[in-house]
Structures are given as C-alpha cells and as structure tokens.
Structure 1
Amino acid sequence: MKKLIVALTIIFTFPAFAQQKQKISTADQKMNTFISQLLSKMTLDEKIGQLNLLTGGEATTGSVMSTDVESKIKKGQVGGMFSFTTPQKIRKAQEIAINQTRLKIPIIFGQDVIHGYKTTFPIPLGLSCTWDMSLIEKTARIAAIEASADGLNWTFSPMVDISRDPRWGRISEGSGEDPYLGSKIARAMVKGFQGDDLSKYNTIMACVKHFALYGAAEGGRDYNTTDMSLDRMYNDYLPPYKAAVDAGAGSVMVSFNDINGVPATANKWLLTDVLRRQWGFNGFVVSDYTGVNELIDHGLGDLKTVSALALNAGVEMDMVGEGFLTTLKKSVQEGKVKESQVTNACRLILQAKYKLGLFDDPFRYCDEERAKTEILKPEHLALAREAAAQSFVLLKNEKQTLPLKKKGTIALIGPLANSGPNMPGTWSVNSDLNNTLSLLEGMKATLGNEVKILHSLGSNLIDDAEYQQRATMFGRDIQRDNRPEEEVVKEAVNLAKKADVIVAALGESSEMSGESSSRTNLEIPAVQQRLLKALLKTGKPVVLVLFTGRPLVLNWEHENVPAILNVWFGGTETGKAITDVLFGDVNPSGKLTTTFPQNVGQIPLYYAHKNTGRPLEEGKWFSKFRSNYLDVSNEPLYPFGYGLSYTSFVYSDMKLSRTSFKPGETITASITLKNTGTVAGKEVVQLYIRDLVGSSTRPVKELKGFQKISLNPGEHKTINFSISAEDLKFYNSDLKFLAEPGDFNLYIGGNSRDLNMLKFTLTK
C-alpha cells in the first residue's frame, strides 16, 4: 500500500504542467526585500491577522456576518475586507489600519465584480456567447475602472468553472462547457481586470474561481461532491484555471466541493502540488465564504483541526470564518502548523498589497472625484448595450418573423416584460436595480411613438407563490396577480388580439439561476407555458423573448413558436438591447456555448463527448445494443456553437495547404464564407478537430479555433486557420502533455453539428 501511495504521489506531482524557474527582476527584488523586512518586525499574531478576510456587511453570500470589525482592525486582525464600497467608507476603514495599528499595514478591499460593476454587462454565460475576446476584455476593463473608482482593488472573478450540467445554477456565472473557449475567456477577463500593471490606480486584482471542478458537482446540486478521473480533470476541467494563472491572476479562490474524497479547501494535492508546484502560481489563495469552517460538516474535524488542514493544504486567507484568527496560534504552539507556513501565507498577501501599490499609497483607490466621474459613463453604457445585443442567440426564426417592423401595434406580455430589477441577472450585486429599464421601458425609450405597445402581465412567474418568492430574492420581486389564472390569461389574450404581433417575455427570473439555485425541472414554468399556448391560439405571430441563466428544455416551444430569441440576462442596458435586436437595428450573432438538451434525462450532454465501443450509427435514432435511449435520440435540441442570424451564410471551397505535416511545422485550413442574405451580419466560424487514434480515448471533436467574421450582403471572405502539433496535444494516461502522430479529422462550420470535413495526418 505504501508503494502505491508513493507512485500516485509521483504521478500527481510531476505531469507536464512543470513549474518554470524565472529570473527575479529588480522590481521583484525590491518587493521581496521590503516584505522580508516587514515580516521580520511582525509578531505571530500580526501575521495571522493578515490571513483574516471579513465582510463589511453590505452584501453577503452566506448566512454568517462579521462582527466587531472596527475593533479587529485596530488590533491588526484584518488583512482584507469585502462587500464594503464607496471611497468614503473604504478610506475610513483604511485610516484605522494605517493610523491605529503598530505596523500600519493597509487592508485589501474586494467585491464580487462578476459581470460589471455599476455598469452591468450580460451574465458570463451570455457574454461568452459573443465569442468576442476583445469585447469581453473591454467589459472587464470597464468593470475594473468603475470598481477601482469606488474604492475597490480586488474582484472575486473570473469564474472559469466548466459546466456540462444545466441543473447547476452557477452555470450562469461561467463560460459554458468547452475548455478551449473557456481558457480564451479566462485570459481575456484577467487581462481586462489587471491590465499590464496592477499598481495603476484603475486596475484591480483578479481572483480565479472556483478551484477546482466546482461545475461538475454531482446531480447539478450546488456545493455537492465531485468525483472525476485525472484524464477528465486535466483535459476538460483544469485548462481554464491554468489559463487564468498563466495570464497572471493575482489570487485564486478555492471551491466548496470535495474532490475524490478531499474537500478542495483542505486538498494539498490540488492547492500545493498542482497549483504551485506544477503551474508555478505565485499569488495567494483565499477560501470561499466560510469554506474553512465548512470542513467541519465535511467531517474533517473541529475548527482548530480544519483550520490547520486548510493552511497546510495551501489556503492563505480565510474568508469570514475566522478559524485562522482564533485557532492558528495554538496550532503553531502545538506543532500542528509550522510558523514558517503562517509566515509564507502572510508574505503572499503582503506581496499582493505591494503589487497593488497600497504600501506606496494606501488611499490610492479612495478618490471621491473618480467615483463621481468614472461610473456609469455614457461610453460604458454604450458598450453594455452592444455587449448585450451581441450575446443574444436567435434559436428559431420561422418565415422571417424577426426582425419586427417599426410600425403598428405590439402586445408585450409576460411576467418578465416589465421587471427592471431582473434585467441585470444573478450576481449583479452592485447594480442599481431601481434604475434599470425593463423590456417595456426599453422599448418605449428606444421606439418612441413609432410603435404602439400594449402590455399585460399575462401570468405569474410560477404557480407556487412560495417557489416564486425563492426565485425572486435580493430585490428581484415580480408582482403576483392573485386573480384566477383564467381571468389573467383572458385579459392578456384580449389585449393580444388588438395587436399585429405578440412578444412574450417568459422564462426564468434572474435568481432562478446562480448560487444555490439548482433546478431539476428545466422547462419554462407551467403557468407561463399555458399563457404561451393561449397566445398562440390567437393566430397572431408570436415571438418568444426567452430570459434564462442556463440551457432550458424547449421542445414544445421549438415545435410551436415561430421565433425564439434567447436574451439571457443582458445587464444594465437589457431593455434597449433587446429592442435593438427585435427591430433589426442589430443583427443577432450570438452562438451557444452550452448544449441545450431535449430533456433533463440526457444530462450531462455536451458536444465533446467520448465515443463508446458501441456507438450509434450516424443518422440513426435508435439501434438495439448500441449506446442510445429508447425514448429520445442522442441529439441535443440546440448544439454547442449554434445560433441563427437575420441573414444567411454559406460555407464552401474548404481546403488544406497539405494533408500531412510533422511536429514543428504547420498546415493551413481555409474555407470561403459568403453572406447570401439581404442584410449585413456576423458569423462565428468554428474549427474542430478529432484525433482518430490515440493511446487514450479521445473526444469525437474538440474546438481548436474560431473567428468572428462580419460580412455585407453578397460579400465573401476566405477564412484561414493555422494548425500545428501544439493544437493536437492532450494529457495521456500518464499525464504527459503531447501530440501523438496519426490521422485526424478537421471540421469547419457554423456550429458543432453542421460542419465541413477534411482529413490530415501528423507524421512522426
């Protein structure tokens, strides 16, 4: 047994993610000298104090609140604070740290700046559907400018968890199911937040979360356990975290879940062997909200025991739980924690503060003039409107129902038609919910008197009033109509009969996805479905404007509704952006980054699945003794990468520069894209590769490149992709990162299903 443990340790510690030795710059030498001198003056109590992260009490993500904060700052027992904003409040807290503590060590101030600050952008899942890295980076840059103007210097973002289970509510906070795309977005977000110099006054430190594998929680139930092979970890789930680390993210947040029996917060293999030794991460690690304390319920011991486990595993900062603050000194005295471990944790936190420039000027983020002039600027709102419109995915458009004409009468009906507070989406804790335009208000503001708009609630969000209350927390209330349902629907139908077209604003409320919002039924709530059916019976054209934070089951809607526009939750400018797309001022170009299933029983369903020894023959629905279902096909309702446009695109003339190459060389794949429609549009051209024979089983296809192309009507363009052996690498069963010689299929098209194919060979 001992030999087995040693062997596993070797495998886990030394795969191809090798730590690189780096030369120490003059600036780093200066920083290290400063920090070492400061540490030499610090007592053990003062070092432990730096490891303590408290909440300011303005907003929380858990049930525990920090108490007696001012007194703890004076005692040097606070290293960081979060959910505490405005330059005035932050200056007051910082003044206590600087003026009333022995060593005058500044505090770092964080916040959940997830998809924008005051200017809110689409939820991350929606933003990922733009497939536009420049746009995504700009949204993070604006978020950093606004957050830093309001006193903050640290964000708990980006959330880069891969998720292939839409039952999990937090799928809304990530970038979908694909590691390649997720890695690209992780890099863009880190660069947007941190810029090229963290000491600049308008940058903030990124915190990559949730490390690791949180998006694969069993049953899609939040905080649940995760059990996964190393093959899947290294090839599918870890890449976006590593991409963010490689991009220079200053901090990492640990996930709530356990990983193969060891909770992430106490998982030394994850936090020390992988993160530090293999990837060379040199920032600091923070727990999630009371994550250290929750190790008790995981069954690992009392608070003193689990606090020691977390620190020894590689957690440097304890969020809210105060287990480090109250137990580590005793653990050091008992020899269960080395003082050098505490010192190293403190060093990493002090380095972060140094890089942010807080030792040069603790009040650099407390400029009240910036708070007045750099938040909700017109150019920020303009980008929010553009990002929202680019994130929308047109799922269906029968008989060119969309775009609508700017004339006549529109019936806007549904519980989400006039709910401004729901438009920013989940995890928009800094948004001004009272001043966010609803779809109704956005249409009126955008269209003026061009179109007559009739409005009716039509139905409640959910039949069950208690369920609706759970789904509209944190100020996202949607009015309930307590009249009999038949009366409410009849009123809406009578209104709809007076209109030329019906726009049904239906789906989830913003808090039906996000943290602690897992669902087992992914259909539109039944009461809304009944309303939709009644509206269709009027014979009027119906457009379903679908609000959601996750893939939903839309079989009936797809079969019966003429047009479906998935708008996710678009942020501050949602109402205006939806109007832009509905009426053709913007041509939708969003492409799905998650697979939409036909039913919940297919989950997990994702495009890059492995083949089986008994795959279903192509084109067949069912075959006995093959890998399939009796009651439904293996196919999704909408595949990864899918999205329609108001124009049409044709792919042709696909070529390879040559059909074989060797490591160190490249080949070029090209294809011609033509806009064959009548309006300008954008298409995301996607490149997939399949490794046909490998030492380990390989996915049926993997995304390896994409380009977003704009074309005018009749215009065509040749799109080129360069492919090298680097694009073909994967982690084999020995966790070696390599490209194996052999035959490959190469696919190019507009989604993961509808593709053109050629073959090539990588030679030895």
Structure 2
Amino acid sequence: MYLDPDRGFEERAADLVSRMTLEEKVSQMQNSAAAIPRLGVPAYDWWNEALHGVARAGGATVFPQAIAMAATFDAPLMHQIATTISDEARAKHHEFIRQDLHGRYQGLTFWSPNINIFRDPRWGRGQETYGEDPYLTSRMGVNFVEGLQGDDPKYRKVDATAKHFAVHSGPEHNRHEFDVHPDPRDLHETYLPAFQALVQEAHVDAVMGAYNRVNGESASASQLLLQDTLRRDWGFKGYVVSDCDSIEDIYKHHKIVGTAEEAAALGVKRGLELNCGRTYGALANAVKQGLVSEAEIDAAVKQLMTARMRLGMFDPPERVPYANIPYSVNQAPEHDALALRAARESLVLLKNDGLLPLSPSIKRVAVVGPTADDPMALLGNYYGTPAHPVTVLEGIRKAVPNAQVVYARGAELVEGREDTNAARAIDSRYLRPAAGSTAQGLKGEYFRGRTLSGKPVISRVDPQVRFRWDNVAPTAELVARGEMRADQAMGTEDFSIRWTGQLLPPQDGTYTLSVVADDGFRLYVDGKKVAERWKDSARERIDDVKLDLKGGSAHDIRLEYFQHYNDASVRLAWRMPGESELPPLQAALAAAHDADAVVFVGGLTGEVEGEEMDVNYPGFSGGDRTDLRLPKPQQELLEAVQGTGKPVVAVLTTGSALAIDWAQQHVPAILLAWYPGQRGGDAVADALFGKTSPGGRLPVTFYKADAQLPDFEDYSMKNRTYRYYEGEALYPFGHGLSYSHFDYSGLKLDRRKGKPGEPLQVTLQVRNDGKVSADEVVQLYLKPVDPKRPRALKDLRGFTRVQLAPGEQREVAFTVVPERDLRVYDPQREAYVVDPGQYEVQVGASSADIRLRQGYMVGQ
C-alpha cells in the first residue's frame, strides 16, 4: 500500500510505519536516517541548507545574505529568489539520487529561513535573519517559504523550516545553557508573530526548535511553544526538528533531566519528531523503560514519512513534476542575473554629499581596504560555491576599464588576525601545465588519502590554484553532473593534490610567492623545496617565500597539498616586482595621493561574525561582537585616506549594524553593501558609477557608538530597535538614500473612524522629481497617539518598492486590518486585543522620515 502513488500520503505513511520494527522507527527519527532495505526505504539525511542559495552542496547560485535580501524591501523578489533556489535544490537532489548518493546536503528538507528577530546588533547570527521588525520578517519569510515549497496541489517542491523557535538571538557562547524569561508582551508582539505568519499563511512544513530554554523549558521540548502555541493555537500540521544536539543539551547542559533516554522521551512527548543529532538513538531503551510509548513513536515517524511521501521520494519520478527540473538550471545565466538584481536592490546608500555617482570617465581610482578583493566578503555564512564570484575590486575594474585602478589592502580586517585573503592568486596567463604547452594553468592530480599515492582520481588543468571546498569534495560537481560515478569520487576529507607545470614570470625581479592552505603543503620551484608545512592546521595559514626569478623564462613549479578534516582550502599566490613593498598603510596612502577618488572597502566578513565561532579578536567574542565600531586597523586606514584630501567613498561589507559616527561626520559618501552574494562587486560598481541608483533600506537600526544598549543577555525589548528605542539613531530603521528625489502627496484614508473587522484603505501619490530612474520604498507605520498600555512607539505595517522614471507618478495603496495590524497582547486575558483610541497613519521613506500623516480613530 505504501508504494501506491494513488493513495493518500498519510495513509501510505501509516502503512509503512506499521511494517517497521521499533529499532527501524527510531532510526528514522534522527537527521541521518538509516536505509531499511527490506522495505525499500533508502537512507536519507534531513540536514540541508538554503539560507541564500543551496549551501554546502557544491556549485550553486549564491544570492545576497538574508539580511541583505531583507534590505531590498521587495517581497515579490524574495519569492522569485526562493523559487530559483528550490529549482537548483531539486535539480541537485535528483542528480544525487541518480548517482545513488543519499548524504548530508543532498536532500530536499532545508533548514531555512531563520526568522528570529535581530534584537541586538551584537549577535553574530543576525546576518541570517530579516532584521529587527516582526512585520518585515513575516512578509519576507512568507514569500521565501512559498517560493521554496512550490505551488503544486499534491507534491511539495522542498520543505522549508522556520527556525529557531523561539526567543533565540544570542549570545552564542552560552546558547546551550541559557534560560530566557521573556515578558509575555514581548513574546507575543515581537518574538512569535513571524513564526505564526509562516505557519498559518505560508504553511511551512517544518519548524526547528532552539538551543536555549524558554521559561525553564528547553525550546526543543517545550509544552508552551510546541504544544500550546504551535499546534493548539496555530494549528501546525508539519513536523518539528531540533537544532543540532539541542536534545543532548536537555540533559548535558540544561540538566532538566538526567539521562539521554529521559531527554529523548521528553522531546517526543512535547512534540519534536526529528532529532538533529544522536540522542534519539536512546528512544528504543526509553520505550523499554516506560518513559515513552511505542504509539508515540509511531505518531512521530508517521509525520516524518508523510513529509517524505509528500516530497515524492517514494513515487515514480514521472509522477512528480519537480523531478523533471534539469541539472542545467544549476548556476544558469538567468540565476546569475537574478543574483545581480538582488545585490543591486540590497545596497543602502547611507550618506551622499554629492560625491556619488562617480564619473565613469574617471582616470585614476584607488581601491583600499581589507574586504575589497576578498571573496569571503561576498558570502556571509551558510553559502554555496559560486562559479564566478565578483569582488568589489573586480567589479570596479570592469566598470571603468579605461581607468587606472590601483589596489592597496591597507589594513588587516581586525586587530591581531593573520589575513590570508590578502594574497592574490597567480593568474592563469603566468602558468602552463608543461613545457611547450599552449594551455594556461597547472596540471592537477587528485588523490584519495593524504600521501599523493596511487592512481589519481582525476587529472585536469586548473587555471589557478584558488580553491575553497569547505564541506564539499573536489569531485562533487563531476558526480552531480553525471561525469563521474559515486564510487569513484573523493570525499570531503583525507585527500591530496599535486599541481605541476611551469611558472612564467613577466619580468626580472624578486617575487613573493605565497601558499595559503588548510591543511598541509609543500612548494618546489626549479626542483628545490622552497616552503613546507606538511601538517594539519586549525584554519587557513599563509606562508611567504621570496625568490629572484628571470622574466621571460620558464621555472618548473610543483605544489603538493593534503586535506585532513574540516574545511579545505588552498591558494597559490604572489606579489610581483614593482608592487608596493611599503607597509600596508603607507601603500594605501601612496595609492590615494595619486588618485582622483578613493574607494575604501571595509567592514566585516563571515569569518569574524557568525555562529558559535572560535573568534576572540578585539571587538569580537565567539562569533558575536563586543564593539559595534569599525575595527581599529580599518578605522585608522579610513581616517588616513580621508586625511589625504582626496574624495573618499566608504563601501561597507557587514551582516550587522556598524557604529560609524566618524565616517558619517567626515566621509562624503557611504554605501552599505552587506554580504552581497556572487555578483556583489558588479552591483557595487554599478551604484558607484551611476549605472543604477541605490534603493535598499535598513532592516535594522544603526546605533551611535556611545549608545547605551541593554545587556546582551536581556531579552526585554525595552530600548531596543526602532519600535522601542528612546535615543537618537545614527541611521534609523528603513533609512536609505537615492540618486533621485521623491515627492509624496495626496494621502487618503477611506474612513477616519473604524472598528475591528473594518479594513482601512490607504492611498497616496509618489512622484519621481529627480533626473534618473530610481526605486523608492514607501513605508507605512501605525503609531498609537495616547496608548492605554505599554506598547511599541510605532509599527511598520506596510511597504512597497516602486520603480519610477523621472517625472513618473504612481498611486500606492495599503490595506490596514485593525485586528491584524493594531493588535497587542493582553497578559491578563492571555489574548490579543485591539485597544480603542486614536492612532496616526504615517507614510514615508523611513521610520524617521515621515512625509504624510493622518489620524485614525478605532472604536469599540
């Protein structure tokens, strides 16, 4: 029965579960679900990532990081991006299946999006979210989920997962033991609304529990969250998955119970079906100990198998429409174009004193700063492998091909960090695989194991040695494309590579060759070993060697590399004679003095802010931040180049707010690039030189450096975000400038007094009074005039992004539903209510830049 595609999914799942032993059922409740050959159930790993593109599964289109996508304030674009991501996900999955691959990052159940509220800019994972506002988060999240899950009436395209439920936003260092006691109003007015929207509007199929406790209960085994709220109040019909090892935390760190069996039983009883981790392996013993019944196990496994059935995993491919998506869609040109559009829309112009846009006919440009030529500044975290990532430096060089563009890094990313990304990979034109060859690059021989022995798995010519495989094997794309059988492939660990050929220096002089590697390497030039570090390393390390080379002659070169475990990366780089030997800051100043304009590109990367990281530089701790200011080496560089008197534009890469008071006071123009994805460099260059006008808006408040923020571990919303902050922001929520100017007029409300159940129609006219075509993000806020209870100062309740040509005018309309848009939580009644009284309808270009307003009375 369970293989009959004409029967209902739940009926089929129940039949399949009835045929399993207890041990087989338990094996299906862990993320790495075992195969059950006698029943024809293949192995399956539920752990897959798609935060801003299919992640950790080889080559994929990489869109701007989630916080940057939120900055577009473009919900339809969000749906289009998610549809593209799920196209690539489906194509990859079916190619993996054809190769009989069933491992992690090869499935259809994606643990995205992250809809936690970015309540505090110090949180390293805030970059994964859609910002600080529940309404913006809801709208972007709903569109993302709907794009991922598809619209087929029978089959799911992929499963999306709303995470981390709930009240989870740092700190990272103690997330496995922290207990949050949110005020009931904050819980219901800030932390829960986006989850409710994704459950009830987008019908998200999965929800992920959080690591921390909430009111003493593990968020992954909470009666309040999983039973009372999610299932009883919201009617959730999908499945719940734990964050990885959060069930283990229940007894090891939270110490709510004493054993793995008790923790696993508690998770099942509270409604968590799937454990990322191994603790649910104790469920068979838990049943025998009477801690949980087999019937409860059956219900959980039935829920999981129903999800797999709905994804078409047990049906003939011809019956599943999404199974026909060809592998060729992966990294398709139209996907690359969409990544460029998204990056362009995400850029936020924070300040412009008239310097921007720069003239495309500019003669000399100095590009300085540590993230200008760093591909990691494009990616953030949870990313795939882009085919042709474009850094900001590359984008500028493409945008002004006739200009002299001089690059000087100028400073380290953060104080005390060895910056391996400063090394520039040797271009293919200076390499050939053998004497007399017309090919460019080096011959690469790829071996299993770390000893470079046996027959190579593959031999090929690599144009450059510039690889970062992370959790992906070097042969993954070959397998995915069907060019290599799975049993021939290399793994993600324990492999080695030998590159051989000749180095062709263009001129006589002293060259600095650099090898950047994680883990070991040996470098030979003209048969002589010139550098070696044949040992494991915790992260990328850089080794330099100076060599006198003769221009126009060929020098034999051999680089040997091994990967042991964790991330894999290797780069062969150099600095040619004539390139500045000055200290970094002096080199940047020399470049600036000779330039017509200076573009400073700095900020952060995902290597210093992120999830539970081993990062403890000044201003950073465990992935979180302890200082919102620009890191000290970068601040010194920015002040120095500004002091040259040359026009300076600051381009900032970051996943969170920066306290850049000095730049706001002294630098003529500031462009916020976020982590802009694979085409980020092109998007930034387009904005700098006027091909496009920036139109993004801030989804978070940027605070001043001296702002007194509440304690990071305090989850009260008091004095946080634009909704409750009582001070003056550096840049307010919703802020973003343009190369044009927009006039707002004609605000009309179809009624000045209403009551719950009576929608309010709001219309206005927006006109582009400038000289260039540009986007405007029109924002609607509702403000209580004389509130009867503590509540937000104002709330975003509508936004729309419109593109207008010069002189064009358009009507913009919003619908306000009082019981949805004006509700507050009443702790005494334990329910949402709409307080009668006077409200103000505000429409403008940011939370602070209100252009039009009218009163609106809500009666009983």
2:41 counterpart (90, 98, 104): 104
Distance (Å, rounded) in 1 between the aligned partners of 2:367 and 2:53? 28
Q: How many residues align?
A: 670
Q: Which residue of 2 aligns with 1:308?
A: 265
Task: Name the stretch that deviates more: 171-180 or 281-290.
Answer: 281-290
Pair 588,323 (structure 1): closer, same or farther in 2 beyond 3 Å? same
Which SS does the other structure have where 1:571 is aligned? coil
**The residue matched to 2:247 in structure 1 has which SS?**
coil
Give unmatched runs, 5+ long, in structure 2.
55-59, 94-106, 422-537, 541-565, 613-622
**Which position in structure 2 is the counterpart of 1:346?**
301
On the 8 A contact 1:198/1:204 being kept in 2, the answer is no
What is the distance in 2 between the residues matched to 1:583 and 1:676?
21
Pick the aligned partner of 2:90 from 129, 141, 148.
148
Matched to 1:242, the amino acid is Q
Deviations 1:287-332 (A, max 9, x none): 1111111221112222222122222222111112x1111x111111
Query: How many angstroms apart in 2 are the aligned matches of 1:461 and 1:439?
Result: 15
Give SS of 2:696's match.
Answer: coil
Q: Once the two structures are superposed, what CA deviation does each residue of 1:167-189 show, in whole Å capped at 9, x if it has no partner?
A: 00111000001111111111101
Q: Counterpart in 2 of 1:123?
A: 65
> Does residue 758 in structure 1 map to residue 710 in structure 2?
no
Partner of 2:588: 492
Deviations along 1:690-724, one digit per CA (max 9) or x if unpaired, are 23345532211111111212222223333332333
Q: Call closer, same or farther: CA 1:122–1:444 in 2, change over 3 Å.
A: same
Task: Specify whether residues 114 and 166 from structure 1 end up closer, same or farther in structure 2 by C-alpha distance, changes over 3 A only.
Answer: same
Structure 1 residues 518, 451: CA separation in 2 closer, same or farther (over 3 Å shift)? same
Residue identity opposite 1:510 in structure 2: G
What is the CA distance between 1:391 and its match in structure 2? 0.3
Query: 2:298 is paired with a residue of what secondary structure?
Result: helix
Answer with 486-495 or 124-133: which moved more. 486-495
Is structure 2 residue 408 aligned with structure 1 residue 443?
Answer: no
TM-score (norm 2): 0.73
| 1:226 corresponding residue in structure 2 | 180
CA contact (8 A) 2:395 2:682 kept: yes
CA distance in 2, matches of 1:476, 1:594: 34
Letter in 2 for 1:665: E
1:545: which partner in 2?
651
CA contact (8 A) 1:222 1:518 kept: no
Look up the equivalent residue of 1:53 and give its one-letter code: N
- SS of the residue corresponding to residue 441 of structure 1 reads helix
Aligned to 1:531: 637
SS of 1:569's equivalent in the other structure is coil
1:64-79 counterparts in 2 under 5 A? 78=33
CA distance in 2, matches of 1:229, 1:27: 48
Pick from 32, 44, 48: which aligns with 2:26?
A: 48
Mapped partners of 2:568, 2:179: distance in 1 = 31
Query: Which residue in 2 is equivalent to 1:292?
Result: 247
Q: CA deviation at 1:488?
A: 1.7
Task: Give me the whole-angstrom Cα distance separating, in 2, the residues matched to 1:153 and 1:260.
Answer: 33
| CA deviation vs aligned residue, 1:133-160 (integer Å, no higher than 9, x gap) | 1111111111111111111311110111
Tell me whether 712-721 or 557-566 shows the greater mean CA deviation.
712-721
- Give the conservation status (yes or no) of the 8 Å contact 1:150–1:366: no
Matches within 5 A, 1:353-432: 353-361=308-316, 372-428=327-383, 430-432=384-386
Change (3 A) 1:480 1:278: farther
- The structural deviation recorded for 1:599 is 2.6
1:622-650 Cα deviation digits (max 9, x unpaired)? xxxxx99xxxx811100000000011122
Identify the residue that residue 206 of structure 2 maps to in structure 1: 251
CA offsets per residue over residues 36-67 of structure 1, 9 Å max, x none? 2222222111111110113xxxxxxxxxxxxx
Question: What CA distance in whole angstroms lies between the structure 1 residues aligned with 2:574 and 2:267?
Answer: 46
The aligned runs of 1:352-751 (5 Å cut-off) are 352-361=307-316, 372-428=327-383, 430-432=384-386, 435-447=388-400, 449-465=401-417, 487-516=583-612, 517-599=623-705, 601-603=707-709, 634-694=727-787, 696-726=789-819, 727-733=821-827, 734-751=829-846
Give the conservation status (yes or no) of the 8 Å contact 1:187–1:243.
yes
Deviates more, 1:132-141 or 1:650-659: 650-659
Instruction: Tell me: CA distance 1:331–1:240, structure 2 relative to 1, closer, same or farther (3 Å).
Output: same
2:196 to 242, 247, 251: 242
- 1:34 alignment counterpart: 12
Does structure 2 retain, via aligned residues, the 8 Å contact 1:268–1:312? no
**Distance in 1 (alpha carbons) for counterparts of 2:420 and 2:393:** 21
**How far apart in 2 are the matches of 1:702 and 1:454?**
46
> What's the TM-score, normalizing by structure 1?
0.82
What is the rounded CA distance, in whole Å, between the counterparts of 1:480 and 1:329 in structure 2? 58
Question: Cα 1:610–1:124, aligned 2, differ >3 Å: closer, same or farther?
Answer: closer
SS at match of 1:564: strand
Deviation at 1:537, TM superposition (A): 1.2
Bigger CA radius of gyration: 2
Q: Deviations over 1:389-441 (max 9, x none)?
A: 1001000001243344343111111111111233122211x224x84222222
| Separation in 2, partners of 1:164, 1:132 | 22
Secondary structure of the corresponding residue to residue 9 of structure 2: helix
- Contact persistence 2:357–2:688 (CA under 8 A): yes
Q: Conserved in 2, the CA contact under 8 Å of 1:114 and 1:158?
A: yes
* Residues 186 and 717, structure 2, Cα contact 8 Å, conserved in 1: no
Distance across 2 between alignment mates of 1:554 and 1:477: 34
CA deviation after TM superposition for structure 1 residue 340, in Å: 1.4
Task: Report the more deviating stretch, 458-467 or 34-43.
Answer: 458-467
Give the superposition deviation at 1:252.
1.1
Percent of aligned pairs with the same residue? 33
Structure holding more strand per residue: 2
Residue 47 of structure 1 contacts residue 342 of structure 1 at CA under 8 Å; is this kept in 2?
Answer: yes
Q: Which residue does 2:500 correspond to in 1?
A: none
Q: Please report how far the alpha carbon of residue 580 of structure 1 lies from its aligned counterpart in structure 2 after TM superposition.
A: 1.2
Distance 2:321 2:859 in 1: 59
| Alignment-mate amino acid for residue 639 of structure 1 | P
CA contact (8 A) 1:411 1:453 kept: yes
* CA–CA separation in structure 1 for the residues paired with 2:113 and 2:214: 21
Q: Distance in 1 between matches of 2:581 and 2:415?
A: 9
Contact 2:356 2:688 in 1 (8 A): no
Distance change in 2, residues 1:475/1:495 (3 Å): farther
Residue 183 and residue 604 in structure 1: after superposition, are their counterparts in 2 closer, same or farther (change >3 A)? farther
Would you tell me which structure has more helix in proportion to its own residues?
1
Structure 2 CA distance for aligned equivalents of residues 724 and 319 of structure 1: 39
Distance 1:401 1:103, change over 3 A: closer
Deviates more, 1:357-366 or 1:234-243: 357-366
**Alignment check: 8 A CA contact 1:164 1:604 kept:** no
> Does the 8 Å contact 1:222/1:515 carry over to 2?
no
Provide the rounded CA distance (Å) in 1 between the counterparts of 2:219 and 2:849: 39
Whole-Å separation in 1 of the counterparts to 2:340 and 2:738:
18
Deviation at 1:753, TM superposition (A): 0.8
Relative to structure 1, is the Cα distance of residues 249 and 476 closer, same or farther in structure 2, using a 3 angstrom cutoff? farther
Partner deviation per Cα, 1:580-629 (whole Å, 9 max, x = no partner): 111111110000010001136433599xx9899xxxxxxxxxxxxxx99x
Task: Indicate the RMSD between aligned Cα atoms, in angstroms.
Answer: 3.2
What is the CA–CA distance in structure 2 between the aligned matches of 1:311 and 1:290, rounded to whole Å? 15
